[in-house]
Structure 1
């Protein structure tokens, strides 16, 4: 059972500017107007680098960045994401003339091998994940992540104010990455499942609530997905985001036009969507040559 679906919060007063360093002010400006999840992740990465360097950002040199990157743990994708965040901060500081130079500009990495295919589950694996979940609330969450292809933060933030009933199913208004709003069709079967789950009739009630009826926290949602994957006998690496990958891939495999899938998932580029396309059985350029 999930012990806490809701994260606690601490009230914070106005900052004492006399105690705020120049690096803190730069960090705050760099993070301004970014989405909550992006801001939290970028700040964590930037502060980890600042702690490692042990010096003001204005004194950082390329060697500091290279040494930090070399000692990072985690997957290649995670290390590259952290490096990208810090390089962005240093470039911003140089552009704003707060830093003397952009020391990250000279740090070049070869393009990583695309391993996306390793994170796309077969349809039968996804079915086992979802079917093995007997709790209605958690089952609905898994279905929302897969059928609608939402990011975990989007699924947790979805309220009934965002839902519009249609003759068949409904429409979910998703406020997503990049502060962009998109409309996602909710199929009739999933709509009925969500309505059956609803107890709180207020417009701001969560569509998929936590176990106490309040908002579902992203960490709790990811635990739900990981436990479902474990019951299905899948890798411990499987996370809630893999269901979004599966949605993008499986829908195209079944004939959904890439531009329709792009609009539903909120991809900025069609190229991102088509990365999930698979060569269908019996198709391929070679058959026209042999």
Structure 2
């Protein structure tokens, strides 16, 4: 340094102002640590509600929520899901003190008709979907959805690091909804089928890869299911979740204890699992009372 010169201090960076509204902050906090699918769907619902009202969340009143709900032109189940998302946001904001009151708490509606039975495939229909698939990779994917009862993204994200060999088949460690991890049995027949597909020995290799050997993307996985259903002559509405429904239903029909099915599918409540129980042909309470 030349005598008399002073060392210049690093220029201070001017902080960039970021205009984040209170509503944005609340929505971000509300969505924190939720799964990608849930976060995307919930944020769409919340933003649509705000667009409809043209108000800030702190200005919303019960009549706004009721008017928005009445304006929704979609299936009843979808309307209820959207309402549940917005009510959750309003409740969360009130608990944090960011909203003066939980206006959604006063919104009451009758319980909808349970149409789950309309989305449960028969064992013959599932067999037709799987047996009609000639591609071993795609057939194995259909069997993973059905036999293991996995959600679509759980099946797509399954890697060999999560698979543990057992004397008969194996165990898969599934990181599922709500950040919960559960162990799912992989029967011996399915395990052999999956091992036969394996070409990548790395621990993080996908159990059922895409056509390029990489992870199977959700959209491609959905197409596998849709095309299998179409070949079997089934409804275009059939999705991967229908195979999960079928897993729960058929397992209980064959005598699986509800708590075992609950653990396999990762249901938070046993009540959810027992919805899949059916009255078996020729059986019912009346049979034991009509003497």
Q: Same fold (TM over 0.5)?
A: yes
The runs of 5 or more residues in structure 2 that have no matched partner are: 1-15
| Corresponding residue number in structure 2 for 1:153 | 153
**CA RMSD in angstroms, aligned pairs only:** 1.3
Matching of residues 210-289 of structure 1 within 5 Å: 210-289=210-289
Q: Which residue of 2 aligns with 1:124?
A: 124
Name the structure 2 match of 1:95: 95
Alignment of 1:66-215 (within 5 A): 66-215=66-215
Counterpart Cα distance in 1 of 2:169 and 2:37: 30
Mapped partners of 2:167, 2:146: distance in 1: 22
**1:52 positional shift:** 1.9
What is the CA-CA distance between 1:74 and the residue it aligns to?
A: 2.5
Question: Which secondary structure does the structure 1 equivalent of 2:184 belong to?
Answer: strand
Deviations 1:102-145 (A, max 9, x none): 22111111011111111111110111111111112211111000
Deviation at 1:177, TM superposition (A): 1.1
Bigger radius of gyration among the two:
2
- Give, in whole Å, the separation in 2 of the partners of 1:69 and 1:223: 32
- CA distance in structure 1 between the aligned counterparts of 2:283 and 2:41, rounded to whole angstroms: 41
CA distance in 2 between partners of 1:73 and 1:210 (Å)? 36
Answering whether residue 9 of structure 2 is matched by residue 25 of structure 1, we say: no
Q: Distance in 2 between matches of 1:113 and 1:225?
A: 27
Alpha-carbon shift at residue 43 of structure 1 (Å): 1.4
Residue 189 of structure 1 deviates from its aligned partner by 0.8
Residue equivalent to 2:59: 59
Residue in 2 that maps onto 1:50: 50
Q: How far did residue 219 of structure 1 move?
A: 2.3
Cα offset, 1:289, TM superposition: 2.2
Change (3 A) 1:17 1:201: farther
TM-score (norm 2): 0.91
Task: Give a deviation string over 1:223-253, Cα, whole Å, max 9, x none.
Answer: 2111111111111111110000000000110
Inter-partner Cα distance in structure 2 for 1:34 and 1:128 = 36
Q: Which has the higher contact order (CA 8 A, sep 6+)?
A: 1
Q: Within 5 A, what are the aligned runs for 1:8-19?
A: 18-19=18-19
Query: Which one is further off, 178-187 or 243-252?
Result: 178-187
Between the aligned partners of 1:154 and 1:37, the Cα distance in structure 2 is: 12
Cα drift, residue 83 of structure 1: 0.6
- SS in structure 2 at match of 1:164: strand
Q: How many residues align?
A: 275
CA-CA distance at 1:17 after TM superposition: 6.2
Equivalent position SS for 2:210: coil
**Inter-partner Cα distance in structure 2 for 1:150 and 1:210:** 17
TM-score, length of structure 1 as denominator length: 0.91
